[in-house]
Amino acid sequence: MILRLALRSLVVRPVRTIVLACGFGLGIAVMAVLLGVGEVILDQARSPALQGGGDAVIAGTVGGVDSARFVLSSVLGSGDLRTRVKTASPARRATLYLRTADSVLPVLAHGGIPSLEQQVGDPEVSGRSDWTDAPADARWTAPEPGDVLRAMDRFHAQPDVPEFAASWAEWLYFNGRTSDGRTRFYLTFLAGPQNREGTRTSGVRLQLERDGQQASYSATADVDAIALLTDAPDVTIGDNRVRLEGTRYEITLNLTGSRGDRLTGHLRLEASPGRSLPPAVIHGARGWLTGYTVPVLSGRFAGSLDVGSSMVSLESAEGYHDHNWGFWQDVRWQWGQVAHDGLSFVYGRVFPPQTVADPDRMPGFLGVLGPDGPLATSTDLTVTESGDAHAPSGLSIRARGRELDLRLQLTVDRIVRTAMTLTRGGENPAMDFLQLGGMFTVTGHAGSRAIDFTARGAAETFRPR
């Protein structure tokens, strides 16, 4: 029918039909050219040379990477970049205000490390022999691994957002597992929102699993809010404390069980240098936010726990430590972690309240770290849970990226269920927090490395109560 109309139009109005056809053809050609030019412009815009003159661009998956010491030591100082990037200089620009007797003048200020600025050829300081490093600049020119961990693991001031203030919380989370898999623990040092007295109600909770038997121990105390911001990750809650000494976390516990029994002990977590994920913050509407970092993606626990009449030894146990902060009402998440043969894998996705962001559009994240630092990351993540409405029996995780294509299958054999009051709200009135244990089967590739292994790991999710 269309062909017949076109032929009839050509016979009746030949000139108009030819002009119209040429116009359509020209429009299509112009559009094709514009699309091609747009792709070239986009590629050029991503060019490191056009974004600042360097040959490497470092970007976060959910925003900027503001942990400069982590970038210097664990990104630019690792893997292939170590041989390519000879010098890097952290710098920051800000607007300061000069107050005079009758006016306020804005001043654009630039800060940097003198020796590094000179090495990268900054014309403003080249040849200035009077501009030299201060003693504190050594933390940037040669950052100590422990200083990097401390900067990543600091606590954060509670934002002035009254709508969400009651649900603010920040915590240090540790988990460990003995090599034979018979003993596993989950440990949390958590601080709630600040009250009018300037303190924060805080708690310590340990979930201990031995030969399939689970027990919980806890303690609570009020902690000075300023001390948390000043000292963390050195945290003291009652008779329990965390201390970071170099790259080693020293943890002292004195807790009470649900049946009145006591648990005391001392644990040491030695972090593996370079096995960290830098802080990342997700922002929503009206000041809502949530943040996450993994100072110790892979480490080793040592120490022991005195549980009543028995002693639990944790020598050379596999260890992990992350750090969360933000507003948590109506929030749930999916998370998992596994390590094998020098590689560490972690994935996660946060589902915020629908009033601040669309949960279905929030990107997930999967990162792979090797002995020399990050191998690959992806925000194209899908997590599928199998099983019934009560508890998952398995998880399927798929991640794709420019240098990554991985599939993780978790067969769940252990579940610790906790009634979660932290995230309770109007949209999620009754949710249970599930900590899962089981065997991960991981296949695919990360960078140029083929991945195919089975190892024990951990995961977290939620279920309606």
The DSSP code for 352 is -
Return the percentage of the chain with pLDDT > 70, whole number.
80
Which is higher by pLDDT, 85 or 56? 85
Q: Cα torsion for 312, 309, 237, 230, to the nearest 10°?
A: -40
Cα-based distances in Å from 144 to 67, 69, 151, 248, 345: 14, 9, 11, 13, 24
Partners of residue 252 on adjacent β-strands? 241, 266
Q: Contact, 350 vs 463, CB < 8 A?
A: no
Q: Cα torsion for 25, 26, 30, 32, to the nearest 10°?
A: 20
Q: What is the pLDDT of residue 49?
A: 46
Tokens of 280: 């990342």
First-to-last alpha carbon distance for the chain, in angstroms, is 61
Q: Contact, 283 vs 289, CB < 8 A?
A: yes
Please name the residue ranges forming H helices in 399-440. none
Burial 174-203 (b: 16+ CB within 10 A, else e): bbbbbeeeebbbbbbbbbbbbeeeebbbbb
Q: What is the pLDDT of residue 136?
A: 78
Mean residue pLDDT of the chain comes to: 83
Which is higher by pLDDT, 139 or 283? 283
* Average pLDDT value for residue range 158-180: 93
Query: What digits encode the pLDDT tens for the residues 334-374?
Result: 999 998 888 889 999 999 999 999 888 888 899 898 877 77
Q: Contact, 269 vs 300, CB < 8 A?
A: yes
Q: What is the pLDDT of residue 53?
A: 47
Q: What is the pLDDT of residue 177?
A: 87
Q: What is the pLDDT of residue 104?
A: 87
Q: What is the pLDDT of residue 52?
A: 46
For residues 178 and 420, what is the distance between their CA atoms, to the nearest angstrom? 27
Q: What is the pLDDT of residue 83?
A: 62
- List Cβ neighbours of 389 (8 Å cut-off, separation of 6 or more): 463, 464
Return the percentage of the chain with pLDDT > 90, whole number.
43
pLDDT beyond 50 at 385: yes
Cα-based distances in Å from 369 to 50, 260, 297, 366, 446: 29, 42, 8, 10, 9
Q: What is the pLDDT of residue 233?
A: 96
pLDDT beyond 70 at 69: no
Query: What digits encode the pLDDT tens for the residues 421-433?
Result: 777 665 556 788 9
* Average pLDDT value for residue range 206-210: 91
10 Å Cβ neighbour count for 243? 14
- Tell me whether the omega of the peptide bond preceding residue 233 falls within 30 degrees of 0, making it cis: yes
- List Cβ neighbours of 105 (8 Å cut-off, separation of 6 or more): 97, 98, 99
CATH class of 329-465: mainly beta
Q: Contact, 269 vs 299, CB < 8 A?
A: yes
* pLDDT band, very low/low/confident/very high, at 66 (cuts 50, 70, 90): low
Which long-range contacts does 108-116 make (Cβ < 8 Å, 24+ apart)? 113/89, 113/137, 113/140, 113/141, 115/141, 116/87, 116/88, 116/89, 116/90, 116/140, 116/141
pLDDT beyond 60 at 130: yes
